Amino acid sequence: MNNPLSGLGDLQKLQAQAQKMQAALQQEEVVVEKNGVRVVLRGDQQIIEVSVDGIIENRIAEAINEAVKKTQELAAKKLIEISQQG
């Protein structure tokens, strides 16, 4: 007889690995400078700073971060919908 909880250990292991990866990505930064625009982005896709021609414009960073968060929430909802259909 199959134990429905037998995969739980694997799930917990994957979750722990994902948390480690997230923490590691938060420590990394990518800096891109192009056409007078400089973007500093953490490895977990959070924008730290946006500057245009040397002027910091964190309103832009805040708006982009909010948009990314909304797309992540949308993706999570879609994943739940798809998993409930199958």
Query: For position 82, what pLDDT does the model report?
Result: 87
- Segment 58-86, tens digit of pLDDT: 999 999 999 999 999 999 898 888 888 86
* Full 3-state SS string of the chain: CCCCCCCHHHHHHHHHHHHHHHHHHHCCEEEEEECCEEEEEECCCCEEEEEECCEECHHHHHHHHHHHHHHHHHHHHHHHHHHHHC
Q: Any idea where the domains of the chain sit in the sequence?
A: 29-85
**Mean pLDDT, the chain, as a whole number?**
87
Tokens representing residue 45 in the block? 């896709």
pTM of full prediction above 0.85 = no
The pLDDT of 9-19, averaged and rounded, is 81
